[in-house]
Amino acid sequence: MVTRVTTFDFPEGKPLLGGRYSIAESIGAGWEGEVYRIVERGTDISRVAKFYYPQRNRKGVTARRYALKLHRLRDCPVVIQYLYHDRLRFHGFPVEYVVSDLAPGKILSQFQKEQPGHRFLPFEALHVLYALAAGFEPIHLMGEYHGDIHTDNILIERKGLSFRIKTLDFFDLGRSSREKIMQDVVDMIQVFHEILGGARYYRNQPPIVREICKGLKATLISRKFRRAGDIRGFLDNYPWQE
């Protein structure tokens, strides 16, 4: 029988990895487990550790798959770099966790709230979409997928005239498929639509926005964009009118 856990609530200062790291603060929780900022003793360098609820990580499968996926995709620009996979004892039973780099930036949903009117202007939103598409292009070319793209799973920071994007929490939906890759594309365009202000502002958006969003009809989106690289190519070659 697998022990069921609803929260870890690890205290600040709890040691990890033989005392090399310690818990600094909780930074989030989800269906699979909880995420904490951890600090390396001696350097004060911050990392991120994701701890898996045992019922979501039977026989350690979910944590290992996540670690292996991050490692396979380590050269892709939107992927946070994987560092360690380990376990600790929690009330007498083992809990697995994965340690990765702490990426800079803010969660996109929060970043959006800080914009005038709580939304991006169209040209800025196009830059965000471009960064997402260019970042996911090599992932899709490798036949991999994310599985859970939304504004709470994206870290963003301004970089010159554009944006730098990192993505969180690759979701394990089993073996990759064309349909899962296409769902990533639909989810990216849903993010684009959301940061523009959603349905309330959609009617007055410029033609390029409507050409991309297709009224959020997944079948129409998938006919035009099958992989992230199709979005990137569309934006690179769009015939802007004077």
Same domain for 153 and 93, yes or no, is no
| 1: in domain | no
Q: Same domain, yes or no, for 114 and 229?
A: yes
- Between CA 86 and CA 57 the distance in angstroms is 13
**In the chain, what percentage of residues exceed pLDDT 70?**
98
Picking from 81, 101, 121, the residue at the C-terminal end of a domain is 101
What is residue 233's predicted lDDT score, i.e. its pLDDT?
97
Specify the 3-state DSSP secondary structure of 238: coil
Q: Which domain holds residue 161?
A: 106-236
Among residues 41, 30, 152, 84, the alpha carbon closest in space to that of 8 is found at 30
Mean of all residue pLDDT scores within the chain:
93
Tens-place pLDDT, residues 193-205: 999 999 999 999 9
CATH of the domain at 135: 1.10.510.10
Question: Are both 139 and 161 inside the same structural domain?
Answer: yes
**Same-domain status, 95 and 118:** no
In a domain, 167, yes or no: yes
What pTM value is reported for the model? Answer: 0.89
Whether 95 and 123 share a structural domain = no
pLDDT for position 240: 78
Tokens 């004060």 label which residue? 44
Grade residue 231 by pLDDT with cuts at 50, 70 and 90.
Answer: very high
pLDDT tens for 143-157 read 999 999 999 999 999
Q: Which residue has the tokens 């350690």?
A: 60
60, 79, 101 — which closes off a domain? 101
Q: Which is more confidently placed, 172 or 46?
A: 46
Asked if residue 241 belongs to a domain, the reply is no
State the CATH number of the domain containing residue 96.
3.30.200.20
Residue 7: helix, strand or coil by DSSP? coil
Supply the pLDDT for residue 217.
96
Q: What is the distance between the alpha carbons of residues 127 and 191, in angstroms, rounded to a whole number?
A: 12
**pLDDT of amino acid 242:** 52
DSSP string, 136-153: HHHHHHTT---S--STTS
- pLDDT for position 159: 86
Per-residue pLDDT tens over the stretch 83-132: 999 999 998 889 999 999 998 899 999 999 999 999 999 999 999 999 99
- pLDDT, tens digit, for every residue of 211-226? 999 999 999 999 999 9
Q: Are 130 and 85 in a shared domain? A: no
Is 6 part of a structural domain of the chain? Answer: no
Largest CA-CA distance found in the chain, in angstroms, rounded: 68
Q: Are residues 180 and 72 in the same domain?
A: no
pLDDT recorded at residue 170: 81
Same domain? 231 vs 114: yes
pLDDT over 70 at 1, yes or no: no
Number of domains in the chain: 2
Same domain, 95 and 120: no
Q: Do 136 and 154 touch, CB atoms closer than 8 A?
A: no
Residues 126, 57 share a domain? no
pLDDT at 220: 97
Mean pLDDT of 23-47: 93
